[in-house]
A and B are shown apart, each in its own frame.
Chain A
Amino acid sequence: MSYTAATVQLLSPEGTLVHSDASEQYLPYIDKLSDDALQEFHRHMVVMRRFDIEAANLQRQGQLALWVPSHGQEAAQVGSALAAKPQDHLFPSYREHVIALMRGVDPITILSMFRGLSHGGWDPQEHDNFHLYTLVIGSQTLHATGYAMGMNLEGRAGTGNPDTDAAVMVYFGDGSTSQGDVSEAMVFAASYQTPQVFFLQNNHWAISVPVSRQSRTPLYLRGEGFGIPSVQIDGNDVLASFAVSKANLEAARAGEGPRFIEALTYRMGAHTTSDDPSKYRDNSELEFWAQRDPITRFDTYLRGRGASQAFFDEIAAEGDDLAADIRKRITELPVPASSTMFDNVYSDPHPLMDEQRTALADFEASFEEGN
């Protein structure tokens, strides 16, 4: 399954710390973490999985048109997001629900996209610089790179002040590495030495197409090919995800140029609720990855450090509360007024929008008069 001696793993699937040539330089980032901090890692992962299950249920019950599950990828997402500072800008793909929540996006805002009520709509500046989802595969890698170019031009990175220096982290998947935009993003990032981390979640499947169809070489070597220092990690190890992201974000913020992280993880569920993985992949593969579940191993690790059952009960209850909350609120969301489709197409006044907004209002009013 593509793990090698170079793959950075700090926590084994059995829940024990790993001391290896690959892990040694990153372990100090973990040593500094308190029990409270470690429990926070677990809380995010557990609450997220509960949210994800509830959202899939809501889709099955007709409350959402679609859901994009993140089951199995919690460690890659939570670890990397906790390594980011508030001033960092995070550009997601469309499966990074837990990071959205961690950066202050209301979960109902995420769900409203899948209920057909919006295309996003949150203001990244008001949500800890968490940008909107991008559905066209890989497009956001260029936006992230352009943003990071802007940071360089404005001196927002590399000043030596750790409180203000910032970086960009962009999330993308194994399928997107075949898109030209991802290659172009790496060309521009390397050329302009942007303060940026490319965070690739290799979940092994682009809908039904295995990663072997995308690449004959480990994907982190793609980064190397563009002159970007790159590393492969066990993406189901939240400690590796955190420590390696932290080290690379620090380098990017310090002005050392872009970095590339490939996190080996697995999409335990379907691509979306419209997908049927039983048509294209074996249960044996699923079983292999179930043995490497990110939450199970961290649960073992925390219990080994003496975490109380009360803690585990508390985060389970928090997940249930969140599930109940979204279930209640999802049906209360109003359908936007028809005229809103013309709002914000342009920032400046636009005669065609005005004309069609008025025409639609008149048309709708003609039925009301008929009543």
Chain B
Amino acid sequence: MTETMTMAKALNEGMRAAMAADGKVLLMGEDIGPLGGVFRVTEGLQAEFGENRVLDTPLAESGIVGTAIGLAMSGFRPVCEIQFDGFIFPGFDQITSQLAKLTARHEGTLQMPVVIRVPYGGHIGAVEHHQESPEAYFAHTAGLRLLSPATPHDAYWMIQEAITSNDPVMFFEPKSRYWQKGEVDRESAGIAAHSSRVVRDGTEVTLVGHGAIVSMLLQAAELAAEEGTSVEVVDLRSLSPIDYGPIVASAQKTGRVVVVQEAPGNVSVGSEVAATVAERAFYSLEAPVLRVSGYDAPFPPAKLESVYLPSVDRILDAVDRALAY
């Protein structure tokens, strides 16, 4: 049986289920208590589970991550909310130098089951530091796992997968999708850890993306179909590790791959996908793997975001360029 709900609600329900299943799961972050977070993703959870399970913290990202590490050392499973993508950097040192490395430093005797939720990406018309896509910094760091759901159903299951992981998980939530509704099946078997997925079948070009971009890829595929081009769409879902199986299989089928992301393209997750497809599907490729990304400039003022971010037109342009080879 499925229910229709927004991604924000699906995340809320996923965390509620995880908290009910395991008393060691704690939520911590700025404004997540009575307010329910600036995006209301934790709405009602403090009232339900109490102040000892949902901690409104001081306004200090390094403090949030650093104390979450200590809480994990003492047996808890903290789920931290970083209020906006651009505010994660004060916590960057604790994430990359400590959280990511502590299990290795302990030679396996210490697990670090910490989730860091990061609302990310543009399309909300916000001020500076509120629309960024910083996932590449973390995908580059050994010891972290990165997930990013594209639908409410995936969000419901993937947040639970993140919380039950014994490793640190950076959970990137596409904030422009928070209010989009979709079907959530709470009875399903969940989602295999770190699995990419073909979300639309096609034969001529493969589009690969994650998070908010996936719905744009589906839109582009629909428009391309009207022009007679058959486009396949793959949702990465996991940014580290990346499940290359479905991506490479799709590349071998279509011979043409376009990787799309909101993040700047230079040294990005999309770069890694493009390089790996080139290595593993070389003899199947009919065209170089192309990338459509945010430009390599700082995220511009909001009135320019639709120019800066990949659009359906830029994606279709790349599809045409791939087909031209």
Contact = CB atoms under 8 A, between A and B. Distances in A.
The reply to whether chain A is a binding partner of chain B is yes
Nearest to A119: B105
B241 interface: yes
B224 interface: no
Given A145-B66, A149-B71, A191 B165 contact: no
A141 B166 CA distance: 23
A149 B76 CA distance: 10
Given A139-B94, A150-B76, A345 B58 contact: no
Given A119-B104, A153-B52, A147 B241 contact: no
Interface residues of A, number: 41
A131 B112 CA distance: 15
B105 A345 contact: no
Contact of B67 (A123, A151, A188): A188
B167 A346 contact: yes
B63 A185 contact: yes
Given A153-B76, A184-B66, A188-B57, A146 B71 contact: yes
A368 to B, nearest CB: 26
B241 A143 contact: no
A249 to B, nearest CB: 18
A141 B165 CA distance: 26
B104 A344 contact: yes
Interface in A324-364: 343-348, 350-352
Contacts of A346: 103, 143, 145, 167
A127 to B, nearest CB: 11
B103 A187 contact: no
Contact of B107 (A141, A180, A344): A344
Interface in B118-134: none
Contacts of A348: 165-167, 193
A33 B124 CA distance: 67
A136 B100 CA distance: 14
B103 A347 contact: yes
B41 interface: no
Interface string A255-274: 00000000000000000000
Nearest to B245: A351
Interface string A111-155: 000000011110111000001101010010111111111110110
Given A139-B94, A144-B70, A150-B70, A118 B107 contact: yes
B74 A146 contact: yes
Contacts of B108: 343-344, 347
Contact of A188 (B63, B72, B110, B243): B63
Contact of B71 (A121, A147, A181): A147
A352 B63 CA distance: 31
Interface string A84-123: 0000000000000000000000000000000000111101
Nearest to B108: A344
Contacts of A150: 70-71, 73-76
Nearest to B53: A153
Contacts of B60: 184, 187-188
Contacts of B166: 347-348
Nearest to A341: B104
B32 to A, nearest CB: 15
Given A139-B66, A150-B75, A347 B111 contact: yes
Interface string B224-264: 00000000000000000101000000000000000000000
Contacts of B194: 351
A312 to B, nearest CB: 39
B73 A146 contact: yes
B106 interface: yes
B109 interface: yes
B167 A147 contact: no
A129 to B, nearest CB: 10
B2 interface: no
Interface in A26-47: none
Nearest to A136: B97
A344 B142 CA distance: 11
A168 to B, nearest CB: 8
B69 interface: yes
A184 B62 contact: yes
A158 to B, nearest CB: 14
A136 B52 CA distance: 30
Nearest to A181: B62
A175 to B, nearest CB: 16
B213 interface: no
B105 A121 contact: yes
B93 interface: yes
B68 interface: yes
B103 A344 contact: yes
Given A119-B101, A145-B67, 9 more contacts: A134-B98, A139-B66, A146-B69, A148-B70, A149-B67, A185-B67, A187-B63, A344-B106, A346-B167
14 contacts: A119-B104, A124-B110, A139-B93, A142-B66, A143-B66, A145-B67, A146-B66, A147-B73, A181-B66, A181-B94, A184-B66, A185-B63, A188-B57, A346-B143
Interface of B: 26, 52, 57-58, 60, 62-63, 65-76, 90, 93-94, 97-98, 101, 103-112, 142-143, 145, 165-167, 193-194, 241, 243
- Rank and list the top 5 A-B pairs by shortest CB-CB distance, nearest first: A146-B70, A142-B66, A150-B74, A146-B67, A184-B63
